[in-house]
A and B are shown apart, each in its own frame.
Chain A
């Protein structure tokens, strides 16, 4: 499933540069993840990189975007090609 930034976010922006899918952007006032682009880092890293760096543990699973690992991998291929 894609990830979601909740209101523990303090808008430090640490996550933005870590994302291999450019799925995170600055919202108003906190950052947002585009579920169409978030692959939870599947195909790139073992752990979601944004979760690793978030200082306030504000990045959690998005219950509205449940996906299997295969679906996430497909999404990665759609975004980046094979």
Chain B
């Protein structure tokens, strides 16, 4: 279904400029943006994915990952095809990169009302816009989020953080939490391997905090790409100093994928080193993901060390937090619905 896009301006000669994401694509008549989802027809910009999902699943909120947002709850997770990044190591490239236009024919129709109803029927606390990049299906997620908000269902983005501040301001009344990937701390890596830039992501992260949306950050650590100690230290310091020491930082283990099959999985020792760097930077909640069962998925009180949330792979086993506070020392534990 073609629906007119939001957040674009008309220019001369039927050209438009999209300002949904930080690429701010100039799109000529008959052409598409970098995402291959937004298309200019005669000077009007349309989205090609409104009301069509490529995935609908009920996931534990921990899988997003969001560890400090209604722990133990379920998130109704949806995606459409397309992405504004072209990460050479994308783990979901078959749905994020529109390599073959046919993918747009395999979608399942679902109106915003139907998505909200499904989430309610499956007793999900939240709807997660995930798997691909939610910015790219903004019009769809925006309509769903407004409806969900009326029904007291929370809304979550899992994003690369490349949206514009205009988009963040528009979605912020309805967006309750977001997990943003900080994929590197070098512009050259964003340019060369992801097809984007670093600075807009940093701007979004700061804006998200300003807007009061609950934020968690994920960094996939890739051998030889972003695992150098100075870079990791700068990244951790940015999170701690610019976003706050209570922002959970998820360190994720890389597994070979897509165009980077030749890069080996992240050594476990590297992940432990990164965790230490995160703690040195003063971060209170550093987690390691994609490592299978490990106690680095558990939440401990940053003050007294008491085990607060015991997690198994994607779910919680035990949560002893009492009304946002450590039951042992009384420290307030950051998060929403803790």
Contacts and interface: CB of A to CB of B under 8 A. Distances in A.
Interface of A: 7-12, 14, 17, 29-30, 53, 55-56
Contact of B23 (A8, A10, A17): A10
A7 B192 CA distance: 22
Main secondary structure of the interface of A (DSSP, over half): loop
Nearest to A30: B26
Interface of B: 11, 15, 17, 23-28, 31, 33-34, 86, 191-192, 195
A29 B15 contact: yes
Taking each of A30, A53, A56, which has the highest tally of chain B beta carbons within 10 Å of its own beta carbon? A56
A7 B28 contact: yes
Given A10-B26, A12-B23, A17-B191, A56 B34 contact: yes
Nearest to B192: A53
Contact of B25 (A7, A10, A17, A53): A10
Main secondary structure of the interface of B (DSSP, over half): loop
A14 B86 CA distance: 13
A55 B24 contact: no
A55 B17 CA distance: 17
Given A53-B192, A55-B195, A11 B31 contact: no
B43 to A, nearest CB: 13
Contact of A55 (B28, B31, B86): B86
Contacts of A10: 23, 25-27, 31, 33-34
Nearest to B36: A56
B26 A11 contact: yes
A26 to B, nearest CB: 11
Nearest to A53: B191
Nearest to B25: A10
A55 B27 CA distance: 13
